[in-house]
Chains A and B, each alone.
Chain A
Amino acid sequence: MLQQLFFGYYAFIIIGLSLIVVTRKNPGHSVMWMLLLFFHIAGLYLFLNAEFIAAIQVIVYAGAILVLFLFVVLLLNLREEITLRQTVGSWPAAFFISALLFIAVTAALGAYVQGPAGKYSIDAIRSETHAKALGKLLYTEYLFPFEIASLILLVAVVGAVVLAKRKLRS
């Protein structure tokens, strides 16, 4: 009962906050509401026994990505922007499409059959901590994707610098 109540609180707040995020006029306010949203999602991860993922969520999403967003919002001068019309004219069509997607996904949930359980039960993870179990898997079985992820980050760093710098006069 307490668990359902806990989940209900998180689900209610997450859905409410995401609605607030996509409807604010001022992008700066949106970023602030999104910060709160990411903390609640991190709480949901803790509820699912994924403490390392919750820490990553707070550090990378709330700490790095949102600060980047905030910098860009503060750098751009959007004072006239927010007086203009904010949504496209055919928003009921967009609502219809996304509601159709929601209905399709939830209707497909009834046909879900759970597969056999893996070896990482809660007790197994607890005996060697979540970060250690995840690290073992990441550095043995998923070493190659991990290296590719580092390459993606390198490309992102170089690409961001190239895109955002001013053109040099020749």
Chain B
Amino acid sequence: MVPLHWYLTLSAAVFMIGMFGFLTRRNIIIMFMSVELMLNAVNISLVSFSHYLQDLRGHILVFFIITVAAAEAAIGLAIIIALFRNKQTAHVDEMNEMKG
């Protein structure tokens, strides 16, 4: 039997890699994929909790997270297309109009 800690450590590791990618990469598409990676890390931990607590609520939550991820991907990619149409680049260093 695989202990629950292993799954949670795996989930934390994938989340860490996703966060590292989001903080370091400059290509907006890869930054967006890092967000998806973090969502998947959370899904792994929810499904493993659900299995070890013998409860299905984690699966329901994963279901909703996947729904929101699909909506987020559609909106985010539309924003990327609109950005690329205006700026001709997917490099976030070029996007500094708002002086953030």
Whether A156 pairs with B47 at a CB distance below 8 angstroms is no
Chain A residue contacts of B69, Cβ below 8 A? 60-61, 65
CB–CB A3/B1 < 8 A: yes
A87 touches B70 (CB 8 A): no
Counting CB contacts under 8 A, is A36 at the interface? Answer: no
Count B-side interface residues using an 8 Å CB cutoff. Answer: 70
The reply to whether B19 and A91 contact each other, CB–CB distance below 8 Å, is: no
**B2 contacts A27, C-beta separation under 8 Å:** no
What DSSP secondary structure best describes chain B's contact surface? Answer: helix
A61 near B2 with CB under 8 A, answer: no
Which residues of B lie under 8 Å from residue A105 when comparing CB positions? Answer: 8, 12, 15
Smallest CB separation, B45 vs chain A (Å): 9
A81 CA to B5 CA in the complex, in Å? 41
Q: Which of B56, B70, B85, B89 contacts A120 (CB 8 A)?
A: B56
Give the residue of A11, A41, A134, A161 whose beta carbon is less than 8 angstroms from that of B59: A134
CA distance A159 to B61 in the complex (A): 24
Tell me if B24 is interfacial: C-beta within 8 Å of chain A. yes
CB contact list, B1-58 vs A, under 8 A: 1-2, 4-10, 12-21, 23-27, 29-30, 32-34, 36-37, 40, 43-44, 47-48, 50-57
Asked if B80 and A19 sit within 8 Å, CB to CB, the answer is no
- Whether the Cβ atoms of B62 and A53 lie closer than 8 Å is yes
Q: Chain A: residues with CB nearer than 8 A to chain B? A: 3-4, 7, 11, 14-15, 18-19, 21-24, 27, 30-31, 34, 37-38, 41, 44-45, 48-50, 52-53, 56-57, 60-61, 64-65, 68-69, 71-73, 75-76, 78, 81, 84-88, 91, 94-95, 97-99, 101-102, 105-106, 109, 112, 114-115, 117-122, 125, 133-134, 137-138, 142, 145, 149, 152-153, 155-157, 159-161, 163-164, 166
